[in-house]
Amino acid sequence: MGSLEEEKTTTGWAARDPSGVLSPYTYDLRSTGPEDVYVKVLFCGICHTDIHQAKNDLGMSHYPMVPGHEVVGEVLEVGSDVTKYRVGDRVGVGIVVGCCRNCGPCKSDLEQYCNKKIWNYNDVYTDGKPTQGGFAGEMVVDQKFVVKIPDGLELEQAAPLLCAGVTVYSPLVHFGLKQGGLRGGILGLGGVGHMGVKIAKAMGHHVTVISSSDKKRKEALEHLGADAYLVSSDENGMKEAADALDYIIDTVPVVHPLEPYLALLKLDGKLILTGVINAPLQFVSPMVMLGKFYVLSLSLSLSLSLLSQNPKSSLGIGRRWSNRSQVGSG
């Protein structure tokens, strides 16, 4: 095995234009340094953000682009100053791989809010080379942005916890919604939505899945353990559910009206937006003011360093309460 100071070559699956079609792409990994970890990628989740980026839905994509930010694998080599990991460790890598380390957010272990943060793909690293993500054979990552996967948690089930899991877990923690007995709604049952159901249930919440059709009722109630299922086009059902929820986690990644869901919230209820949408959302402000609701947005509010230290984090929940993501293939 080569020296850490040597550049390494790997092959990934890259989008080369806004069609989003992926094809094999061989490239050099950035030069590694004393605090770097060389990781063999074993599994990588697919997030809707990867699709947005590959297709340039947000108007900021650069090609060729290797997506993938729910990365898990095995440590192959470590730099001389790496103290947290050793060869053979099972680790994960999320969406952020660099920061300035000097600003307020960085000093508060909230480096994902650093104005100079570096995304793990579709960005430029400090050495001037483009970053590439986890749809690849290997990655080189600073140890600060690597997290150890707990024993007892299968790697393929851990991967989505690094994005979908954290995206749901973070606002529940940040907005004081951890205590048991709360009534929560999960709007949309995709990747983030299904993790929302499982994490909220693990916290002891009564969970209602809200969807645009009846197609996912069986999945929500029988497979994921939701307590109730509500079809948003069912006017009577929506009226009966009014003023019933302490919070709604809105995971829908396309433009949609907010007013019908605000009506489901109790006084001081919180509508938390987690879907990545490439167009402005609109709502009637008097409804928010008169109902004393909160429309909030918070994603990835826990840094990987705090995630790795906290046994009650999404990774900890995944290990202790079998709150693992469901894995499909295709």
| Run of H or E residues at 280 | none
pLDDT reported for residue 316: 53
pLDDT band of 255, cuts 50, 70, 90: confident
Q: What is the mean pLDDT of residues 145-155?
A: 92
pLDDT reported for residue 245: 97
pLDDT tens, 153-169?
A: 899 989 999 988 888 99
pLDDT reported for residue 314: 52
pLDDT tens, 108-121?
A: 888 888 999 999 99
pLDDT band of 298, cuts 50, 70, 90: low
pLDDT band of 287, cuts 50, 70, 90: low
Query: Does pLDDT of 282 surpass 80?
Result: no
Residue type, 245: L
- % of the chain surpassing 90 pLDDT: 65
pLDDT reported for residue 6: 65
Residue 133 zone, left/alpha/beta (φ > 0; ψ -120 to 50; rest):
beta
pLDDT tens, 77-126?
A: 999 999 999 999 999 999 999 999 999 999 988 888 899 999 999 999 99
pLDDT reported for residue 110: 86
pTM of structure: 0.82
pLDDT band of 321, cuts 50, 70, 90: very low
pLDDT reported for residue 286: 65
Query: Does pLDDT of 289 surpass 80?
Result: no
Hey, what CATH topology would domain 9-162 get? Quinone Oxidoreductase; Chain A, domain 1 (3.90.180)
Q: Quick one: tokens of 72?
A: 């898990």
The superfamily in CATH containing domain 165-297 is NAD(P)-binding Rossmann-like Domain (3.40.50.720)
251 CB contacts (<8 Å, ≥6 apart)? 186, 187, 188, 189, 190, 192, 193, 196, 274, 275
Phi, psi (rounded to 5 degrees) for 200 = -65, -40
Parse the chain into domains and list their residue ranges. 9-162, 165-297
pLDDT band of 330, cuts 50, 70, 90: very low
Output 179 or 283, whichever has higher pLDDT: 179
Distance of CA 21 to the CA centre of its chain: 22
pLDDT reported for residue 329: 40
- Yes or no: say if 31 and 38 are a contact pair by the CB < 8 Å rule: no
pLDDT reported for residue 78: 95
Gap between the Cα atoms of 306 and 118, Å rounded: 18
Residue type, 282: Q
Q: What is the mean pLDDT of residues 274-282?
A: 78
Output 75 or 288, whichever has higher pLDDT: 75
**What are the start-end ranges of the E strands in the chain?**
9-15, 22-28, 36-44, 71-78, 90-93, 96-98, 118-119, 138-142, 146-148, 183-187, 206-211, 228-231, 245-250, 265-273, 294-297
215 CB contacts (<8 Å, ≥6 apart)? none
Q: ∠ CA(129), CA(131), CA(132), 5° rounding?
A: 130
pLDDT band of 231, cuts 50, 70, 90: very high
